[in-house]
Amino acid sequence: MNIHILGVPMDLGAGRRGVDMGPSAIRIAGVAERLRGLGHSVQDEGDIPVKAPEQQKIHNEKLKYLPEIVRASTLLANKVEKIVEGGGFPLVLGGDHSIAIGTIAGLSSYCQSKNKKLGVLWIDAHGDLNTHETTPSGNIHGMPLAVSIGLGAIELTSVGGDFRKVDPKNVALIGVRELDEGERKYIKQLGINVFTMEEIDRNGMSVIMTKALRKLHNVDWLHVSFDLDSVDPSVAPGVGTPVKGGINYREAHLIMETLNEYGNMKSMEVVEVNPILDNHNQSAEFAVELIQSGFGKKIL
């Protein structure tokens, strides 16, 4: 595969500082070398420039740092679209999860022009389905999935073009264990496929992955948006918003191994690595291990 790494040092969407250092931490953990070791061609495209919070003011408490997030997301969308037009596999490194707004906008523009159906596998402790009307915090990293299915502030939903980026029926969420009231309502109303931690506990990850991919079987382009906070903090403590009771070490690898075997994944982002909360880069190193499994590393 022809992998293009793209960093987005963004923490404006998060309530806590530090995930802007995620792309560096993942690079330092050796992502490019390890992917080359699996036989892939890897090109690092560097970082999308993002302004620091110190350079800005918050104008809207329900949409914190909106103008800069819109600006950076638009740049990211353009860059991602160019990568896929050239036949590359975009591997986007966050940054907080708000960057998915740009990644998915870029993929969706491409898919629309080629008449392809986009699907998204969203692996996360949270729903990321808030809007400016439902958000308890005003942090935009709690909104990217809502935005991608066309809900929320017009400034965000129109990044990359004023159209719905992905049909909610072509979205599956895995690892969810913390939802806000407004998010529960959207999930019920829109029929989004959600596989909670409870269902993973009851059925096992293998069954859940099979179910999730079956829901997405008719998409032409599968994007994987992997929030490292889906993993239990005992395995990955260095994440933006740790929530206990997450997926374990092997379950996380099994997600990636299944995706590799399934063979339909055409783009991936890994977000919310927070080196400030980490122990000796353990979480970024785990993220790189997972990326390796997604790109074909096998036990045997």
Site for Mn ion in 123-162 (CB under 5 A): 124, 128
Tokens of 129: 């389905």
Catalytic residue among 11, 20, 272, 285: 272
- Judge whether 2 and 41 are in contact, CB under 8 Å: yes
Catalytic residue among 47, 124, 183, 257: 124
The answer to whether 223 is a known catalytic residue is no
Contacts of 225 (CB under 8 A, 6+ apart): 97, 100, 103, 104, 120, 121, 122, 123, 124, 268, 269, 271
The answer to whether 162 is a known catalytic residue is no
Catalytic residue among 11, 68, 227, 285: 227
**Judged by CB, which is closer to Mn ion: 81, or 227?**
227
Tokens of 180: 């806000």
Q: What is the DSSP string of 226-261?
A: EEGGGB-TTT---BSS--SS-B-HHHHHHHHHHHHH
Catalytic residue among 97, 132, 223, 253: 97
**Judged by CB, which is closer to Mn ion: 13, or 90?**
13
The answer to whether 61 is a known catalytic residue is no
232 near Mn ion, rule: CB under 5 A: no
Beta bridge partner(s), residue 6: 92
**Judged by CB, which is closer to Mn ion: 14, or 91?**
14
Q: How far is the CB of 70 from Mn ion (least distance, A)?
A: 18
Sign of the alpha-carbon dihedral angle for 247, 150, 13, 34: positive
The answer to whether 141 is a known catalytic residue is yes
81 near Mn ion, rule: CB under 5 A: no
Distance from C-alpha of 278 to C-alpha of 299, rounded to nearest angstrom: 27
Active site residues: 97, 124, 126, 128, 141, 227, 229, 272
Query: Which residues contact Mn ion by CB under 5 A?
Result: 97, 124, 128, 227
